[in-house]
Structure 1
């Protein structure tokens, strides 16, 4: 529920166009440049701040979000520093650090400091691991400037107001050092909740329980961060990133349960996490021989105490029953990397990376005794130290093959050793090849086509190695020390078509053949856990388009459409029947229509979002979560209220609600049904007020 949760938690921020009649649109400017560059379109498109004047941007993020046909993408579960990464560069360099994501970094660059934005194909850049369209934000820090955003939110039902969501950042320069410091609580800051009826039936459809439930979930992630860039001495460049953040989460669900012939019950579920973490990272690049050497280091540490509990109270005075699960986890990551680049019949890069990841975790289980105290009970395999030492080397080469065809290719080898202490602890080592081949073709003045084949190694969640309990659903995972990282062969074909003053379309087809994919597997006749399944497939289509209505006389109107359709397939480890990867994303659609009223500072718009995911499969149950029918929102914005941009939004206009269905089985999923839970909960309207500006 990544995307839908984000919408519910904090309404997405969209920069809104200003007066369309006074400034050339970014789409028109791009078309003009394309006509000048001709067939050699692989040089890309370049935008200046003037191209975005109609949008009244306050930050580089506002500008990038208005590039037609372009979407910011982040690498999820990124393995190390050399594989993947966001499709955003700043001054020709990847965003330094690992937790410093592209949206955050761009939001801290004042619009007044942006010189230009360059959209390029990744295959034309001397930066391995990137694919598709990449935007390079060229910015220069002069003096002291900053940005701020405040985004309170209110809901009609169940939740407290969200009042402390926002960010303030300051950037400036002192001699050869450019700096940015920030205080934020934007990511994972939310107040969400729902309420409704849950009906429980037996295998014949006969009702056996009725429940009325109210749930609320509160989260905050306050973060203080600083980024420092050193130019010099000579042509050398250095970066230092420091951050400290906390994640404070509270969840609760109260459930009144009653049915004729049963004792009335009240179930109180509570969940909490009090995480803190820090990251220190830096790099230094300098000339050496015929090329340039970059040295990179990163250290990240996270402590995340977590707790769940569920207690049943009975109307007839019977002793309460309950379960508590606790987790104390220390997670650390240390990375050292070097990259050497030089030109010799093309662009070469030789890189080496060493990393150590570790998780020291202790999971514990408690049962409520008749006296009302929680007593610890055994949880075999609940405590362990899991670590991975990883080393990899890669060599990358890129060059133009013709005037409008560019090649980039990489080959490498990874060695890793995974160790686990505790019950069933093992030490295993692996050698894995990796690499890619990428081609970019400027087929015409208005069409770019990109193709890529890649061998990729995935990242494991070390928490899957140890036993754990989900108190909410009364499910337990055993300890599985035999997990190995998944590997895949990935292929993609992407095309970008510019439509002149009408806008732009980017479409991407992708296919992945995955080995050792991670899903629920049986460990014994009575236990299960995340484990490796021999093979799986994932394929689909991504679409991103911008259509302007200026050519038909609807000045200042624009429609942005983004959707993903995805299918997965694997053989169920229990039944052998093909099915989807458990809880995998299946479809996501987001559309926004907005209109900047000509001659005014007013803009209004409508937003639509719908998300679907595959069912969840455990060996003893089947579950499906659906938010339907969809989210529809409306907003109105004034772009100059005493120099500030002020926006009011209301979401969930068509009453989207949360539905959940779970089928629990007596033993395994191929046996008789024990009961079926069918839940329907309202969300209600969501009101958000946003004030943003720069100084």
Structure 2
């Protein structure tokens, strides 16, 4: 598989270079001052419904959207969001600019630009490139973007959904209102065989898991343009409440006679979340700019798991688990930017953030001693240390950012942040710690030619801790161990990040070839550590295991295929090679980390056949299935994952009345995901194997049908 992936990318690279010499002018792309511009006229031939449809036709767009934003990033600093709308970012995590791409109608767009340089005018840091969606200027405009969809699951279930958005402008007011229901119904079948070290059969487990989930979401985005300033406000509300049923058959071969036990689970997950964000930007006559941004969000979750033995006399409950969680965040960021010299600008500012996490865990078991409790589902409760806690972080960042256009081909952006934070934990455990970090960053860009750019970035990064790790939590992946330990003393990973990119944009807008070299020098790597209080109750938790390194190379090529006789066809391929190393805390020897894999490959193809207004294509991905980086080392077991390649297909038809019909085949190869878990007698250091479990899961082929239209 690796050889074929390498061969394919080299063929693509050779083809794009060879085709560049004979290609005719594409007429869709212009290159000005490191900015690539795609006018709206180019996309008209594809009859796009939303901005997403336009983005799909741009070669190499994955380079600009490769980092990903969203809720995982730390604070609302300039990094992590590579999409602007009218040059403005959206202050949000659950509701950010990337979410707007499917909500904004294509007829609202004037042009799309890919910004490859740096500038104080762009409130984004850390992205290799930035995509700016520029909307049509009009005194009044509006449109409705509608989609209805349905998924067909392997058990015959049809799961409907839909999206509706209303976008427009009235005078200086821009607005987007959206509602959506996304079907996420899933049916999984699992099969597990357990053997002892000698290979003798111990147990066979078969499971049927059905999760009936629909994600509901409503959002709004407002922006008002004054003469010298702009105000933006956005809000989002989301809700999901999926029940999950589990049917499990356990065949036990340990005794003198084979026994069969039937087990069922009734699980319920409820989550409500909301988010409000906004920003204000004022441009002074002297060319300076003042910005202030804020973000407030709240997400509350409740997961209950109940397990029953299915007997002839009825169901007998033997386990109750309930996890309670609430995440709150309040952030404000303000800055002032001005020109300090010709071609130089300086931004100074401060960001303050309060993050609060509430954890709670209730466990009841039929095998516990003591009276039954209503709080634990009518079962005797388990006494658990560090089960309830509140973790609060107060963090302040003081930052300065200097932009320097060295000449018409070179730009340098330097940044210095001092971070001061305090983390307090209260409840079952009381703890308080303070941290201070200095975080420099340098970003250098050199346009070797108008079509070739070199980028080099050196950055000190501090990871965002998961406050769920501070206290005991459920372990839903291991029936022999229902909980995982908590660690109030875990600290942030610190890493020096080194990135070097060479990008070549092919002549006549044919495509892009990019090569990235990266190296990560990490301090306080987070992994599994021993938090056992006794030899009779071994327990592990996430904690710091020492220093480590990650390094690798990624090569990506994206090209139109007109030189192969396929006009309006676009192919993209990416191959990555990587490695890592860290000292395992249990075995005290060097091993790989779980990522990056030794190799990974990703490919996509799309062909718009204009005579029929018809499109088809595929997406494919796979990664290394061998090597120690796919092994998760724990205190008392190891888990090794195996996954087949992932393939999805699509067909799309655009009708003359502007309606688009799309048919997707997701998980087209019905891939199997497997895991081998090796359990040891006591700690893993004993080397004595107790049991080997071979587990596989299938989800089945999923069919999706969508109808979209803009009114």
Say yes or no: TM over 0.5: yes
Aligned-residue offset at 1:294: 1.1
Query: What is the aligned partner in structure 1 of residue 159 from structure 2?
Result: 162
Q: Answer yes or no: is 1:469 the counterpart of 2:474.
A: yes
Describe the SS at the equivalent of 2:98. Answer: helix
Query: What is the aligned partner in structure 1 of residue 143 from structure 2?
Result: 145
Moved more, 246-255 or 344-353: 246-255
Q: Answer yes or no: is 1:622 the counterpart of 2:630.
A: no
Taking the TM superposition and a 5 Å limit, the aligned residue runs for 1:572-651 are: 572-582=584-594, 588-611=600-623, 614-628=630-644, 630-640=645-655, 642-651=657-666
Match of 1:518 among 505, 510, 526: 526
Query: What is the aligned partner in structure 1 of residue 396 from structure 2?
Result: 391
Match of 1:490 among 489, 497, 506: 497
Q: Distance in 1 between matches of 2:503 and 2:398?
A: 33
Query: What is the aligned partner in structure 2 of residue 416 from structure 1?
Result: 421
Q: Say whether the 8 Å CA contact 1:151–1:689 is kept in structure 2.
A: yes
Query: What is the aligned partner in structure 2 of residue 3 from structure 1?
Result: none
Describe the SS at the equivalent of 1:104. Answer: helix
Q: Distance in 1 between matches of 2:99 and 2:112?
A: 17
Taking the TM superposition and a 5 Å limit, the aligned residue runs for 1:106-145 are: 106-124=101-119, 126=121, 127-140=123-136, 142-145=140-143
**Aligned pair in 2 of structure 1 residues 690, 128: CA closer, same or farther (>3 Å)?**
closer
Describe the SS at the equivalent of 1:667. Answer: coil
Q: Answer yes or no: is 1:433 the counterpart of 2:424.
A: no
Aligned-residue offset at 1:191: 1.9
**Aligned pair in 2 of structure 1 residues 584, 438: CA closer, same or farther (>3 Å)?**
closer
Query: What is the aligned partner in structure 2 of residue 57 from structure 1?
Result: 48
The one-character-per-residue Cα deviations of 1:35-56 (angstroms, maximum 9, x if unpaired) are xx5xxxx432111011223332
Aligned-residue offset at 1:520: 0.9
Query: What is the aligned partner in structure 1 of residue 17 from structure 2?
Result: none
Q: Say whether the 8 Å CA contact 1:510–1:539 is kept in structure 2.
A: yes
Taking the TM superposition and a 5 Å limit, the aligned residue runs for 1:158-197 are: 160-164=157-161, 166-186=162-182, 189-197=183-191
The one-character-per-residue Cα deviations of 1:92-137 (angstroms, maximum 9, x if unpaired) are 1222322223331122221111111111125345435232111111
Q: Say whether the 8 Å CA contact 1:583–1:615 is kept in structure 2.
A: no
Query: What is the aligned partner in structure 1 of residue 8 from structure 2?
Result: none
Q: Say whether the 8 Å CA contact 1:121–1:131 is kept in structure 2.
A: no
The one-character-per-residue Cα deviations of 1:465-490 (angstroms, maximum 9, x if unpaired) are 00123144133322311111211110
Aligned-residue offset at 1:607: 3.0
* Runs of 5+ unmatched residues, structure 1: 1-24
Moved more, 493-502 or 326-335: 493-502
Query: What is the aligned partner in structure 1 of residue 246 from structure 2?
Result: 253
Aligned-residue offset at 1:318: 11
Describe the SS at the equivalent of 1:222. Answer: strand
Q: Distance in 2 between matches of 1:289 and 1:129?
A: 25
Q: Distance in 1 between matches of 2:24 and 2:263?
A: 56
Q: Distance in 2 between matches of 1:364 and 1:255?
A: 23
**Aligned pair in 2 of structure 1 residues 333, 343: CA closer, same or farther (>3 Å)?**
same
Aligned-residue offset at 1:230: 1.1
Q: Distance in 1 between matches of 2:98 and 2:305?
A: 32
Match of 1:287 among 283, 294, 301: 283
**Aligned pair in 2 of structure 1 residues 173, 674: CA closer, same or farther (>3 Å)?**
same
Query: What is the aligned partner in structure 2 of residue 446 from structure 1?
Result: 451
Aligned-residue offset at 1:540: 2.6
**Aligned pair in 2 of structure 1 residues 248, 641: CA closer, same or farther (>3 Å)?**
farther
Match of 1:544 among 533, 540, 556: 556
Q: Distance in 2 between matches of 1:129 and 1:321?
A: 53
Q: Distance in 1 between matches of 2:484 and 2:564?
A: 59
The one-character-per-residue Cα deviations of 1:571-610 (angstroms, maximum 9, x if unpaired) are 1111112223347666553322232224221222233233
Aligned-residue offset at 1:437: 0.2
Q: Say whether the 8 Å CA contact 2:186–2:212 is kept in structure 1.
A: yes
Q: Distance in 2 between matches of 1:418 and 1:321?
A: 39
Describe the SS at the equivalent of 1:54. Answer: helix
Aligned-residue offset at 1:155: 2.2
Query: What is the aligned partner in structure 2 of residue 74 from structure 1?
Result: 68
Query: What is the aligned partner in structure 1 of residue 579 from structure 2?
Result: 567
TM-score where L is the length of structure 1: 0.89
Describe the SS at the equivalent of 1:151. Answer: strand
Moved more, 277-286 or 565-574: 565-574
Q: Say whether the 8 Å CA contact 2:545–2:585 is kept in structure 1.
A: yes
Describe the SS at the equivalent of 1:63. Answer: helix
Moved more, 173-182 or 456-465: 173-182
TM-score where L is the length of structure 2: 0.87
Q: Say whether the 8 Å CA contact 2:154–2:187 is kept in structure 1.
A: no
Aligned-residue offset at 1:373: 3.7
Q: Say whether the 8 Å CA contact 2:228–2:284 is kept in structure 1.
A: no
* Runs of 5+ unmatched residues, structure 2: 1-22
**Aligned pair in 2 of structure 1 residues 364, 122: CA closer, same or farther (>3 Å)?**
farther
Aligned-residue offset at 1:408: 0.5
Q: Distance in 2 between matches of 1:471 and 1:69?
A: 39
Query: What is the aligned partner in structure 1 of residue 16 from structure 2?
Result: none
RMSD: 2.5
Q: Distance in 1 between matches of 2:431 and 2:467?
A: 13
Q: Distance in 2 between matches of 1:387 and 1:321?
A: 36
Query: What is the aligned partner in structure 2 of residue 530 from structure 1?
Result: 542
**Aligned pair in 2 of structure 1 residues 427, 26: CA closer, same or farther (>3 Å)?**
farther
Query: What is the aligned partner in structure 2 of residue 14 from structure 1?
Result: none
Q: Distance in 2 between matches of 1:661 and 1:381?
A: 31
Query: What is the aligned partner in structure 2 of residue 358 from structure 1?
Result: 356
Query: What is the aligned partner in structure 2 of residue 666 from structure 1?
Result: 681
The one-character-per-residue Cα deviations of 1:646-680 (angstroms, maximum 9, x if unpaired) are 01232444342222221122211222122111123
Describe the SS at the equivalent of 1:459. Answer: coil
Q: Say whether the 8 Å CA contact 1:325–1:469 is kept in structure 2.
A: yes
Q: Distance in 2 between matches of 1:692 and 1:28?
A: 28
